[in-house]
Structure 1
Amino acid sequence: MMGRTKPGVLNIDKPAGMTSHDVVAAVRRHTGIRKVGHAGTLDPLATGVLLVCVGQATRVVEYLQRGQKEYVVRIRLGEETTTYDAEGEVVARHEVPALTAHELRAVLQGFVGEVMQQPPMYSAVKYRGRPLYKLAREGKKIEARKRPVRIHAFELLRWETPDLEARVVCSPGTYVRSLAHDVGVALGCGAHVQALRRTASGTWRVEDAIPLEVFLASGEDWPRYVHGLRAALSMLPPLVLEDEMAYRFALGQRVRLEAAVGRGEYRVLSADEKLVGVGRVMDEGALLAPHKVLVDPQMLLPEVQEG
């Protein structure tokens, strides 16, 4: 099956109650393809956009992970839990202060910008090589190091005590559970996530996602839901190489560009717009080094083989 299926990305709408690994395993079973991975964990409680990479697309996961994330979250005030969400044990209850929507918006706005965030104890963040959630299950409490994240937007959508609903736009690596917990700290009443839906990851939106149950019911027709590698790398600027240069790039060789371009990473294309791979421009913008080659060199320059 893999031989006739292009590598690419599935924009899956993850259901609640499954881990991201569960989704990957289900896709692997359905497609018969072993090389499957996801580009950004969603908690079991969460639903929405989960990008699943199939075949060679697993090599570009790092680029898909870079996009900013967008969520709709329902936060319950007045209760703290062990996991910072509804799946954890309630460890404290507090009276919820009387708040107007205007006052609540002001509190949420205070989190917009770069903030130092502490990951929840129940997370995959590692401490001395071990995931925090495993340490938590052993009854150990570790103060994970805070790290900078950026909250681009934190907008109140609905407020009906004790629950608020908000839209969050944030940098990758942000824990919305920690954000909800910090809102509870700011209000002095505690809080946790009741429901969470990822509505976008980079340019991939939930409106275009395929529900997992629909994908799993698609039988042999599932390849039609696969987005190609070019879509997976659309966030990188294109750089077109002439045939011989593209061929040398595909062999893993550095190539000197005819005209200098800005330094950074590029989606490298051949003259006929085949995707060749990802390259990094260095040396004052004149030297292109392969970072990931995604094509067989023989597909680029048949005449070189004959000559």
Structure 2
Amino acid sequence: MIFGLLNIHKPTGRSSRWVVNAVSRITGVDKIGHAGTLDPLATGVLLMALGPATRLIAYLQAGTKVYQAAIHLGVSTSTYDAEGEVLATAPVPDLAPGDLQHALARFVGDIEQHPPAYSALKVAGVAAYRKARRGQTVELPSRRVQIEQIELLSWHSPVLTISVTCAPGTYIRSLAFDLGQALGCGAHISGLVRTASGHFRLEDSVGLETLAAAAGAGDWQRFLLPPDQAVLDLTPVYLDEGRTQVLRHGNPVTAPTPPLLSSGRAYDPDGRLIALVTYDAKLQVWQPDRVFDAVG
């Protein structure tokens, strides 16, 4: 049974769902999910969970994201990116790098952000972008997001390139739109690359062509990452064969030493991830939360 993760380098012009389907065709694995949608325009790290690892997607999604974004000033579009209809144009002010750094600084921290109408967020059970494409009015409520850092990488009017480190749920398209409003000229994303998701990096990702070539040679699994890479921040719990079988049947196992963290990842004697567990301090046992099917 395939049980692991793939760090895929998503190509431009394709939806995240298209990439999932492509990976399924290449690997022959039916059960695949992705952790964090990327717009068709965007490229970069798209994490895939295969087989039972799909139950770890929430942990993959929780990782800090890093993006490199090109923002085109002076042009506003319906989608906040280069794929949308141009709604307005305006002269770009004479801006020095310091002016841009000052403007960007106001978006660092916990901020209110309106998601784009053309987004995958659901409105009455329907993706907002589907409603927007039908010409329906879409009003998405603002929400708090966290941006840890914005670094100005380059400025060649009318395009600036920035690096953004942020929490999940942050829309870089909305950041570009809001920056354009703050500068009084409008703006949209003209290029976007996710360079990191949690501890997974772009330089370690694999392209679809490379994966397909490896699959043709019967060797694609060399790119498969262990599933515990999704939960490395949890306490490791190493079990002997007896306790492994007890836990596999959904029963708690003893924990002689209280852990520092109450959430754990349990391993069988061969070092394979078999369950996510929670420590019960009163009973001094690890209670199973998610037990994975036997693999090997």
- The question of a shared fold, defined as TM-score above 0.5 by the shorter chain, is answered with yes
> Which residue does 1:305 correspond to in 2?
none
RMSD between superposed Cα atoms in Å = 1.9
Structure 1 residue identity aligned to 2:17? H
- Counterparts of 1:13-162 in structure 2, within 5 Å, are 13-162=9-158
Task: Map residues 176-191 of structure 1 onto 2, 5 A cutoff.
Answer: 176-191=172-187
Is the CA contact 1:262–1:285 (under 8 Å) kept in the aligned structure 2? no
Structure 1 residue 36 displacement after superposition: 1.4
Q: Secondary structure at the match of 1:210?
A: coil
Measure the CA separation in 2 of the matches of 1:78 and 1:290: 55
**Could you list the runs of 5+ residues in structure 1 that have no partner in the other structure?**
300-307
Superposed CA deviations along residues 176-220 of structure 1, whole A, max 9, x for unmatched, are 111111111111111110000010010000011111221122212
Question: Per the alignment, do residues 237 and 217 of structure 1 end up closer, same or farther by CA in structure 2, a change over 3 Å counting?
Answer: same
Sort the Cα spacing of 1:56 and 1:165 in 2 relative to 1 into closer, same or farther, 3 A: same
CA shift, 1:234, in A, is 2.3
Task: Tell me which amino acid in the other structure corresponds to 2:265.
Answer: R
Name the amino acid aligned to 1:254: P
Specify the code of the residue in structure 2 equivalent to 1:273. G
Matches of 1:56 and 1:151, distance apart in 2: 32
The correspondence of residues 236-247 of structure 1 with structure 2, limited to 5 A, is 236-247=234-245
Deviation at 1:127, TM superposition (A): 1.6
Q: How many residues align?
A: 294
CA-CA distance at 1:150 after TM superposition: 0.8
Residue 286 (structure 2) aligns with:
288
Q: Which amino acid aligns with 1:151?
A: I
Query: What do the CA deviations read for 1:274-302 (whole angstroms, capped 9, x no partner)?
Result: 322111234569342212112439x8xxx
Would the alpha carbon gap of residues 241 and 163 (structure 1) be closer, same or farther in structure 2, given more than 3 Å must change? same
> Please, what TM-score do these two structures have when normalized by structure 1?
0.90
State the distance in 1 between where 2:50 and 2:271 align: 22
Provide the residue aligned with 1:231 in structure 2.
229
Identity %: 44
In structure 2, distance between residues paired with 1:237 and 1:263 = 6
User: For the residues of structure 1 that align with 2:287 and 2:135, how far apart are their CA atoms?
Assistant: 48
The code of the aligned residue for 1:233 comes to V
- Structure 1 residues 266-305: aligned runs within 5 Å: 266-270=264-268, 273-283=271-281, 286-296=284-294
Partner of residue 303, structure 1: none
> Normalising to structure 2: TM-score of the pair?
0.93
Cα separation, 1, equivalents of 2:108 and 2:157: 23
Tell me the CA shift for residue 97 of structure 1. 1.2
Residue pair 2:235, 2:261 contacting (<8 A) in 1 also: no
Structure 2 spans left out of the alignment, 5+ residues: none
For residues 193-272 of structure 1, the aligned pairs below 5 Å read: 193-218=189-214, 219=216, 220-262=218-260, 264-270=262-268
1:304 alignment partner in structure 2: none
CA distance in 1, matches of 2:81, 2:164: 16
Q: 1-side partners of 2:286 and 2:177: how far apart?
A: 45
Deviation, 1:272, is 5.1
Q: 1:100 to 1:293 in 2, by over 3 A?
A: same
Query: For the structure 1 residues 112 and 56, does the alpha-carbon distance in structure 2 shift closer, same or farther, using more than 3 Å as the test?
Result: same
Amino acid at match of 2:38: L
Paired with 1:46 and 1:82, the residues of 2 have a C-alpha distance of 17
1:18–1:45 CA contact under 8 A, matched in 2? yes
Question: Aligned-pair distance for 1:101?
Answer: 0.1
- Partner of 1:173: helix, strand, or coil? coil
**Paired residue type of 1:236:** L
* Shift of residue 96, structure 1, vs aligned partner: 1.2
| Conserved 8 A contact 2:74-2:89 | yes
